[in-house]
Amino acid sequence: MDHFTLRNGVLHAEDVPLTAIADAVGTPVYVYSRATLTRHARVFRDALSILPSVHIAFAVKANPNLAVLKLLAKEGYGADVVSGGEMDRALAAGMAAEGIVFSGVGKSEAELIRALECGIGQFNLESEEEGIELAALANARGLTASAALRVNPDVDAGTHGKISTGKAENKFGVPYDTAGEIYARLAVLPGLNMRGLAVHIGSQLAKLDPMESAFAQMGELMRAIRAAGHEITHMDLGGGVGVPYKAGDVFPSPAEYAEMVARVTSGWDVTLMFEPGRVIAGNSGVMITRVIRVKPGASCPFVIVDAAMNDLARPALYDAWHDFLAVEPTGERMTANIVGPICETSDTFAMGREIDVVKAGDLAIFRTAGAYGATMANTYNSRALVPEVMVDGDRWALVANRIDPATILAAEHVPEWLE
């Protein structure tokens, strides 16, 4: 459920007409609903409350906006971060260092040191090499790093190939078959407190079965590692719960996910950790765009909007679907191709899609843009970096400025030998 609804013929975010935001900030612009984010955070947390001991670390990569992180910090969420930049954001939002999990396959030495010095709660190690390096860095500073070993269970997540992470050929984690030996070798290193295992098989999962079989495998591995005399107090089950992008699509609910987890992890006697991103943020945001013009196409017209693949990259990268709705629909429908102004064919949001009738100057939204939206924006074609707004009831605030091309240009320099 979300709070983007049609009222008196105008799409609103909570009590704010999207026309008001577009007029004040310009387009394209991302709009997040505080009530929706809060609701999603609580529904997920409440669903997991059937489990004995839980820590939820929001996957910052899904939406790193400071205001979003602040809201989630207030809801008791920690953070799953994959860079020093994300760690700084989580800390700036007031998240406790011990509630932060540091994931990522290529943490640099500088990032490991900073995270150690900040007292990060858990490092999710992606290789034995990383564990050895972290142990040495911690030991040299008289510190102990709490860590989990990320395991690649070789499970097909059944999602888009570019967002699958748990197949043997993917770069993530250590192979399942050697994980036990690696854990044992890391567990004896001074400077390292090996406390658990981590798994994340992919994102936007439509079915629970692949996760269930991955988690079951992790349970077996956990028992084998314990039987070899090592301690496991934490099991990080990652993120990946999918969300409906198309009106009418049905996805596993947080309650069904929690029931599956409860079934598989029964008797584990650990703190279960979760790294949800999309399921919290995805349907909490939309991107408003304005139609620049409509031109005829071979089989149907091109609706050219002022948002482009640099603002919302998912359709270009993953052929992803985002529902497109007029902000002030007339009730009439048309079939059209929705494209942005960027000079390549991948700047296409939809082909031959049945949509609300729109014409030049009209406002429209792309839905389900709260996760992996603004965070993946860039400035290709020397376009601005897209701004973000948060709505709360009848008030709203700019939570990220538009960074205009002039500001970006000002950060570039021509060497004097080229003058």
| Cross-strand partners of 182 | none
Query: Which residues in 374-403 contact ligand LLP (CB under 6 A)?
Result: none
Binding to ligand LLP by residue 103, rule CB under 6 A? yes
Tell which one of 89, 195, 278, 322 touches ligand LLP (CB under 6 A). 278
Task: Compute the least distance from the CB of residue 318 to ligand LLP, in Å.
Answer: 6
Binding to ligand LLP by residue 329, rule CB under 6 A? no
**Nearest alpha-carbon partner for 287 in 357, 367, 395:** 367
Nearer to ligand LLP, 219 or 240 (CB): 240
Nearer to ligand LLP, 43 or 334 (CB): 43
Q: Which stretch binds ligand LLP (CB under 6 A): 67-75, 174-182, 199-207, 354-362?
A: 199-207
Nearer to ligand LLP, 12 or 322 (CB): 322
Tell which one of 99, 173, 240, 285 touches ligand LLP (CB under 6 A). 240
Nearer to ligand LLP, 157 or 390 (CB): 157
Binding to ligand LLP by residue 314, rule CB under 6 A? yes
Round to whole Å and give the CA distance between 275 and 158. Answer: 19
Task: Compute the least distance from the CB of residue 163 to ligand LLP, in Å.
Answer: 5
Tell which one of 33, 63, 203, 283 touches ligand LLP (CB under 6 A). 203
Nearer to ligand LLP, 210 or 277 (CB): 277
Task: Compute the least distance from the CB of residue 188 to ligand LLP, in Å.
Answer: 26
Q: What count of residues does the chain have?
A: 419
Q: For ligand LLP, how many residues bind (rule: CB under 6 A)?
A: 23
List the structure tokens of 55. Answer: 């820590």
- Sign of the Cα torsion 221, 226, 227, 229 reads positive
Binding to ligand LLP by residue 302, rule CB under 6 A? no
Binding to ligand LLP by residue 86, rule CB under 6 A? no
Q: Is 343 a catalytic residue?
A: yes
Binding to ligand LLP by residue 277, rule CB under 6 A? yes
Spell out the residues 6+ positions from residue 181 whose beta carbon is closer than 8 angstroms to its own.
none
| Identified catalytic residue from 1, 110, 247, 343 | 343
List the structure tokens of 310. Answer: 């640099």
Binding to ligand LLP by residue 372, rule CB under 6 A? yes
Nearer to ligand LLP, 234 or 278 (CB): 278
Here's the x/- map for ligand LLP, 156-175, by CB under 6 A: it reads as -------x-x----------
Binding to ligand LLP by residue 200, rule CB under 6 A? yes
* SS3 annotation, the chain: CCCEEEECCEEEECCEEHHHHHHHHCCCEEEEEHHHHHHHHHHHHHHHCCCCCEEEEEEHHHCCCHHHHHHHHHCCCEEEECCHHHHHHHHHCCCCHHHEEECCCCCCHHHHHHHHHHCCCEEEECCHHHHHHHHHHHHHCCCCEEEEEEEECCCCCCCCHHHECCCCCCCCCEEHHHHHHHHHHHHCCCCEEEEEEECCCECCECCCHHHHHHHHHHHHHHHHHHHCCCCCCEEECCCCECCCCCCCCCCCCHHHHHHHHHHHHCCCCCEEEECCCHHHHHHHEEEEEEEEEEECCCCCCEEEECCCCCCCCHHHHHCCCCCEEECCCCCCEEEEEEECCCCCCCCEEEEEEEEECCCCCCEEEECCCCCCCHHHCCCHHHCCECCEEEEECCEEEEEECCECHHHHHHCCCCCHHHC
Binding to ligand LLP by residue 64, rule CB under 6 A? no
Task: Compute the least distance from the CB of residue 394 to ligand LLP, in Å.
Answer: 30
Binding to ligand LLP by residue 239, rule CB under 6 A? yes
Binding to ligand LLP by residue 347, rule CB under 6 A? no
Binding to ligand LLP by residue 204, rule CB under 6 A? yes
Tell which one of 180, 196, 238, 329 touches ligand LLP (CB under 6 A). 238
Residue numbers at the binding site for ligand LLP (CB under 6 A): 59, 61-62, 80, 103, 163, 165, 200, 203-204, 238-241, 275-279, 314, 318, 371-372
The residues annotated with a catalytic role in the active site are: 343
